[in-house]
Amino acid sequence: MAYGLLKGKRGVISGALNEQSIAWKVAALAHAEGASIVLTNAPVAMRMGEIDKLAQDTGSIVIPADATKDEDLEKLFTGATAHLGGKVDFLLHSIGMSPNVRKGRPYHDLNYDWYRQTLDISAMSFHRMIQAAAKADALADGGSIVGLSYIAAQRVFPGYGDMADAKALLESIGRSWGYHLGISKKVRVNTVSQSPSMTTAGSGIKGFSGLFDFAQAMSPLGNAPTEDCARYVISLFSDLTRFVTMQNLYHDGGFSSTGATPGVVEQYGSAE
């Protein structure tokens, strides 16, 4: 059921690769809630993905942009404001990739060129994207920006490798921009820390299905589905959350506050 939460709003959504992508769900729901949107993804991903179908379904256009390239991002925001007929009310950063994780390099044996790429693609791109939008004067006053994060920013999950460092940086960038844009434009900036989710990025992590099941067993509400992540993000884009900013918000079924659950503990108990 749609509530018209984003009626009349304009947005830019990055990171929709296929139907499993968190950004895909956000785009579909933003459209259903009345927003006009522009989609973006890396040119290489657009060749592999199915983004044109999403564009058709949501009446949007796709502007290719590698989020590590300032000139692409500049074109993205000038193109988006021209197409949407005004400034952008909401912006989703849903981008992550680690060559080290993808190629199985553990945290104690990182390739530093790849490490740089991890940070550039998965974290610095959040800064770049916001800076490009601000410089193009593409952000509407009172708007909302969300980036997607993971709890490995706070706690060690060994298989997550250097992505943990990227997420810590991403969350810090969100806080810092939240301050600056709050002062200048009443724009809020938050990160949403999502449960493990069966997407292309998620499944690329070593031992992912075990991690998924562990998180499921450790979360009183169970792992949060990506559709519900989209609902939460939409609430942050809406006017219902106009004073929520500079936060890292857990959307994880309670995982982050749970110390132990009987289902997990009983695997270690003696047979008394």
Ligand X SMILES: NC(=O)c1ccc[n+]([C@@H]2O[C@H](COP(=O)([O-])OP(=O)(O)OC[C@H]3O[C@@H](n4cnc5c(N)ncnc54)[C@H](O)[C@@H]3O)[C@@H](O)[C@H]2O)c1
Residues that bind ligand X (CB under 6 A): 14-15, 17, 21-23, 41-42, 45, 66-68, 94-97, 121, 148-150, 194, 196-197, 199-202
Closer by beta carbon to ligand X, 42 or else 189: 42
Give me the residue label for tokens 């936060």: 247
Q: Which residue out of 3, 160, 179, 250 is catalytically annotated?
A: 160
Contact 249, 192 (CB under 8 A): yes
Taking the C-alpha atoms of residue 272 and residue 239, their distance in angstroms, rounded to an integer, is 54
Which residue has its beta carbon closest to ligand X? 202
Q: How far is the CB of 120 from ligand X (least distance, A)?
A: 8
* Selection from 62, 231, 237, 232 nearest residue 145 by Cα: 237
* Selection from 103, 144, 148 nearest residue 125 by Cα: 148
Closer by beta carbon to ligand X, 8 or else 158: 158
- 239-267 burial string, b = 16+ CB within 10 Å, else e? eebeeebbbbbbbbbebbebeeeeeeeee
* Catalytic (active site) residue 160: yes
Q: How far is the CB of 243 from ligand X (least distance, A)?
A: 25
* Catalytic (active site) residue 150: yes
Closer by beta carbon to ligand X, 78 or else 157: 157
Q: How far is the CB of 153 from ligand X (least distance, A)?
A: 10
Closer by beta carbon to ligand X, 226 or else 238: 226
Q: How far is the CB of 241 from ligand X (least distance, A)?
A: 20
Q: Both tokens of residue 10?
A: 């304009």
Active site residues: 150, 160
